[in-house]
Amino acid sequence: MEIIVGSVILKNDKVLMVKEAKKECYGKWTFPAGHLEENETVFEGAKRETFEETGCEVELKKVFPIFIKRVEDVNRIMIHFLADLLKEGSILDRDEILEAKWIAVGELKKMKEDEFRSYAVAKQIIESLEKGNLYELDMIKDIW
């Protein structure tokens, strides 16, 4: 089982998206996200992954519905947070990310399925944004 955490950052009705550089998903758009590291909370992981992929510092505000996706015999639990931009930056790791770009929600809705790393996830996140289907952060409890 893998846990993926990331951020959905809004600014002026646009979402910050990243274009993947990894071989298996080269050129595909996705939200800044990655694997949770050992001894890291989901909150810390989402902020770290966002910073590593975009150079942006964020404050997590809400949590999207959690997705479970099966990829090559591995279950992935995917947790995305709606985040406020605290400090804008630039891509730090060009081996992972080709480009970061602010894309209007309306434009994301018009993009083709093959332009996304995971169209199903992108579609659900956009729908949740539009419907306000988000949850308070305290629905996730860290018990150490």
Phi then psi for residue 74, to 5 deg, are -125, 130
- Residue 23 covered by a domain: yes
User: What does the pLDDT read at residue 99?
Assistant: 93
List the pLDDT tens digit at each of the 144 positions of the chain: 999 999 999 999 999 999 999 888 999 999 999 999 999 999 999 999 999 999 999 999 999 999 998 878 889 999 999 999 999 988 777 888 999 999 999 999 999 999 999 999 999 999 999 999 999 999 998 776
**Long-range interactions of 98-102: CB distance < 8 A, separation 24+:** 98/19, 98/20, 98/21, 98/26, 98/27, 99/18, 99/19, 100/16, 100/17, 100/18, 100/19, 100/32, 100/53, 100/54, 101/16, 101/17, 101/18, 101/19, 102/11, 102/12, 102/14, 102/15, 102/16, 102/17
CA dihedral 39, 66, 80, 93 (to 10 degrees): 60
Kindly report the pTM of this predicted structure.
0.93
pLDDT in the model for residue 74? 86
Residue type, 25: C
In this structure, is residue 34 part of a structural domain? yes
Q: What is the CATH number of the domain that holds 28?
A: 3.90.79.10
Per the structure, the count of domains in the chain is 1
Predicted confidence at residue 36, as pLDDT, reads 97
- pLDDT for 56 equals 96
Which domain does 121 fall in, by range? Answer: 2-134
What local confidence, expressed as pLDDT, does residue 28 receive? 97
Query: Residue 144 domain-assigned?
Result: no
Enter the tokens of residue 69.
């996706």
pLDDT for the residue 24: 87
